[in-house]
Amino acid sequence: MRRAWRRRARGAPGPPAPLVAPEGGSLHAVPEIDEVWERIETKAGEIFHLVRGRAFTYRIVGGHVVPDRTPQQIPKSHFARALELVPLGGPGEIQNLRGPSFVFAILSDPRISAGNW
């Protein structure tokens, strides 16, 4: 599926969004990465919290999230890969991605998930 996503032309309709059931809720379609990325860009500079409560902010640089606590640059594509797995139980489920604690914290925040997962 990842290769098909890469080959798809911008703006071309893709496969339907997967349905996930949030805890105790009904099924919702998970939005496309572009919609979620727009939320992530909008909230840059705001305070987010890691699983253990440590606060961080981030900025967007050339399609990457750059948290203030690390020099790592987390690409948009890693958020897209994590989005395919929501709802996530914790950062351990996405250890194959760069900055899993930050990806989890951002995607799990209600400002980003907007009740979709």
Q: How many other β-carbons are positioned within 10 Å of the β-carbon of residue 56?
A: 16
* Mean predicted confidence (pLDDT) in 93-104: 97
**pLDDT surpasses 80 at 30:** yes
In a domain, 38, yes or no: yes
DSSP string, 23-60: TTS--EEPPPHHHHHHHHHHTTTS-EE-TTS-EE-EEE
The mean pLDDT value for 61-86 works out to 96
8 domain residue, yes or no: no
Q: What is the mean pLDDT of residues 64-70?
A: 96
Domain total of the chain: 1
> Is 10 a residue whose pLDDT tops 70?
no
Q: Is residue 2 part of a domain?
A: no
**Residue span of the structural domain in which 62 resides:** 32-113
Domain for residue 1, yes or no? Answer: no
Confidence of residue 91 (pLDDT cuts 50, 70, 90): very high
Q: Is residue 66 one of the residues assigned to a domain?
A: yes
Please indicate, yes or no, if residue 106 is contained in any of the structural domains.
Answer: yes
Mean pLDDT of 30-42: 95
Average pLDDT, the chain: 85
